[in-house]
Amino acid sequence: MLELKLDRVSKHYKQKIVADRLEYTFQKGIYGLLGENGAGKTTLLRMIAGVLRPTTGEILCNQCEIRKMGGAYRMKLGYLPQEFGYYPNFTVWRYLEYLAELKAVPPEAAGERIEKHLEQVGLSSVKTDKIKTLSGGMVRRLGIAQALLNDPEILILDEPTSGLDPKERIRFRNLLGALGRERIVLLSSHIVADIEFIADEILIMKAGKFAGTGNQKEMLKAVEGKVWECLVMPENLEGLNQKFAVSSVKNLEEGSVQVRIVSEHKPMEHAKLVPPNLEDVYLGTVEK
């Protein structure tokens, strides 16, 4: 059985607490880490990837501290950093070949693996092209392919869908669905829709803490009876935004706007209770 455990993991930069005594146990499955800019997602993922050391606390893989495992941990790990470095003059193929060497993939297996992962991320047709000629979304997909090279048991993807177009997102979702069955996949995003249909478990991060964790069903239940829809005039929107967590605004043809509000109490007289979605959960959690 595979288990990755955060045991009171904190990260401080001088006085600033960026990760605050985080506790969580990951097992096989897909985990979505959601949070606003600066919530601490990248910091946490870098600590789990072993490139950043926690100020206090421990990260354990099958009960063993990951730093003590050294190379054995890195062999289990695939990591796509938020800022992903590459060599612009390398061809796609050469770059993956080079990384396969670094990751100690047996040379006789490397070619076949590269071929397979290029196919999975839809880059087979550009394998002989230089990386500098690829689009942003293609580079992102190359990043996903390199993270898969050593067939990792733990796959960490920091904002993997940024820059992907809708078709690529669907491809990515299907790919992860297949990958997540036999490993721990941890991906971050600040876009709810990117995580909504991919993750088995969701972790909402706010100011270095987990503000909410659970599967979608549990999370939706927590905001049941708290999501309201009402019609307002556009000039009242500003005031509403200050008073409530407004999760969506739709302009209607008649000149009024339909707003969705997350609130314990009925926000106004004509407000109607509606079934919650994950966006409401996220907003209700981060704006609390």
Strands 201-206 and 4-13: unpaired
Q: Which strands, in side-by-side order, build the sheet including 77-80? A: 77-80, 154-158, 184-189, 29-35, 201-206, 209-215
Residue 263 interacts with Mg ion (CB under 5 A)?
Answer: no
| Choice from 6, 9, 34, 39 touching ligand ATP (CB under 6 A) | 39
159 vs 201, which CB is nearer to ligand ATP? 159
Rounded Cα gap, residues 132 and 220, in angstroms: 43
Residue 32 interacts with ligand ATP (CB under 6 A)?
Answer: no
Closest-approach residue to Mg ion (CB): 42
Phi, psi (deg, nearest 5) at residue 211: -85, -20
10 vs 82, which CB is nearer to ligand ATP? 82
Residue 18 binds which one of ligand ATP, Mg ion, none, with CB within 5 to 8 A depending on kind?
ligand ATP
Which residues, in sequence order, are CB contacts of 222 under 8 Å at separation 6+?
212, 214, 281, 284
**Count of alpha carbons within 13 angstroms of residue 54, beta-carbon side:** 24
Residue 55 interacts with Mg ion (CB under 5 A)?
Answer: no
Q: Which stretch binds ligand ATP (CB under 6 A): 31-39, 83-91, 214-222, 229-237?
A: 31-39
Could you tell me the smallest distance in angstroms from the CB atom of residue 4 to Mg ion?
19
Q: How many CB atoms lie within 10 A of CB 137?
A: 17
42 vs 120, which CB is nearer to Mg ion? 42
CA angle 112, 181, 53 (to 5 degrees): 85
Q: How many CB atoms lie within 10 A of CB 144?
A: 24
| Choice from 82, 124, 213, 263 touching Mg ion (CB under 5 A) | 82
| Choice from 18, 19, 42, 80 touching Mg ion (CB under 5 A) | 42
Residue 42 interacts with ligand ATP (CB under 6 A)?
Answer: yes
Could you tell me the smallest distance in angstroms from the CB atom of residue 158 to ligand ATP?
7
Rounded Cα gap, residues 203 and 201, in angstroms: 7
| Choice from 4, 26, 31, 41 touching ligand ATP (CB under 6 A) | 41
The answer to whether residues 272 and 228 touch, using CB atoms and an 8 Å cutoff, is yes
Residue 37 binds which one of Mg ion, ligand ATP, none, with CB within 5 to 8 A depending on kind?
ligand ATP
Residue 40 binds which one of Mg ion, ligand ATP, none, with CB within 5 to 8 A depending on kind?
ligand ATP
Could you tell me the smallest distance in angstroms from the CB atom of residue 246 to Mg ion?
25
Residue 37 interacts with ligand ATP (CB under 6 A)?
Answer: yes
From 274, 83, 262, 284, select the one nearest 192 (Cα to Cα): 284
3-state DSSP of 29-94: EEEEEEECCCCCHHHHHHHHCCCCCCCEEEEEECCEEHHHHCHHHHHHEEEECCCCCCCCCCEHHH
Residue 247 interacts with ligand ATP (CB under 6 A)?
Answer: no
41 vs 169, which CB is nearer to Mg ion? 41
Among residue numbers 194 through 233, which ones bind ligand ATP (CB under 6 A)? none
CA 21 to chain centroid, in Å, comes to: 20
Residue 40 interacts with ligand ATP (CB under 6 A)?
Answer: yes
Which tokens belong to 229?
Answer: 């829809």
Identify the three-state secondary structure at position 215: strand
Give residues in contact with Mg ion (CB under 5 A). 41-42, 82
Give residues in contact with ligand ATP (CB under 6 A). 13, 16, 18, 35, 37-43, 82, 190
